[in-house]
Amino acid sequence: MVTTSTTTTTDGHAAAPSAHAGTFASEPTGALLRMLQLSSSLCPIGAFAYSQGLETAIERGWVRSEAELTEWLAGIGAHALARLDLPLLRESYAAALDADEPRLVALGERLLASREARELAEQERQLGSSLASLLVNLGVPAAERFRGHPSASYVVSFAIGAVHLGLPLELAMTGYGFAWCEQQVSAAARLVPLGHMAAQRALSAVLADVPCWLRRALELPEAEIGSSTPGLAMSLAWHETQYTRLFRS
């Protein structure tokens, strides 16, 4: 059934009903729009301030080109996002569905303990608290506990938002993966530097791996959740004393 609506023209007369009006309120499209809102780079939580070790990788000559950037991001995606962030997002989503606050706190603590460098843990905590504040302002009471919480986690806050907005789990995980890829490519475009076309090619190449990350994350047993990315850890540690830097990690 096609939904129609009537609008009023500038001269005060009723306009003809639009066959398209209201179609964007359909459940699948509404969920997609909410996912885009939650994962948008315009989300005011400060994600733009972090490079997650990429700045040092570029400083040390590990990432100097479009191809090397693609390889760097694909490696972190496969060994960190697919094995840590996304599986714990899965677990956090289930806890948020059950309104299990102690479980959400415990998952935040586990996420922070799994971050391999101080700057990455600080990023997780700051983004988690900022996203919780945003969600509270959007009418998500379940996020209130995590504003300024010592175990605030971006992954946990993202899951709380996804559940409140009615996102299916896989769509929420897709949004999280996209947000990470876009933020990293945006940082690289300012650091390498990359032209706009090269940045888009790199983003396209990395996004092609996201479905594989999701499958791995959905299948990974909880006891096996965890990552080991020594190159990323070293890059983050060196970043703490890097002489000049644009980013906070």
Q: What is the pTM of this model?
A: 0.86
Cβ-count burial of 51 within 10 angstroms (0-12 exposed, 13-18 middle, 19+ buried)?
buried
Q: How many CA atoms lie within 13 A of 61 on its CB side?
A: 0
- How many angstroms separate the CA atoms of 94 and 72, rounded? 31
Token duo for residue 63 = 């990432």
- How many angstroms separate the CA atoms of 17 and 98, rounded? 42
Q: How far is CA 41 from CA 49, 151, 180, 243, in A?
A: 11, 23, 10, 28
Hey, what CATH topology would domain 50-233 get? Answer: Urease accessory protein UreF (1.10.4190)
Residue 157 and residue 179 in contact, taking contact as beta carbons nearer than 8 Å: no
Q: What is the pLDDT along the chain (249 residues), one digit of tens a residue?
A: 334 444 444 445 444 444 444 444 456 788 889 888 888 887 887 877 777 888 889 889 999 999 999 999 999 999 999 999 999 999 999 999 999 999 999 999 999 999 988 888 998 999 999 999 999 999 999 999 999 999 999 999 999 999 999 999 999 999 999 999 999 999 998 888 888 899 999 999 999 999 999 999 999 999 999 998 988 988 888 877 866 656 555
Residue 50 and residue 247 in contact, taking contact as beta carbons nearer than 8 Å: yes
Residue-range domain boundaries for the chain: 50-233
DSSP secondary structure of the chain: ----B--B-TTSPBPPPBSSTTGGGSHHHHHHHHHHHHH-TTSSSSGGG--TTHHHHHHTTS--SHHHHHHHHHHHIIIIIIIIIHHHHHHHHHHHHTT-HHHHHHHHHHHHHH-SSHHHHHHHHHHHHHHHHHHHHTT-GGGGGGTT-TT--HHHHHHHHHHHTT--HHHHHHHHHHHHHHHHHHHHHHHTT--HHHHHHHHHHHHTTHHHHHHHHHHS-GGG-----HHHHHHHHHHTT-SS-SS--
pLDDT of 24: 41
47: Cβ contacts below 8 Å, ≥ 6 apart: 41, 127, 179, 183
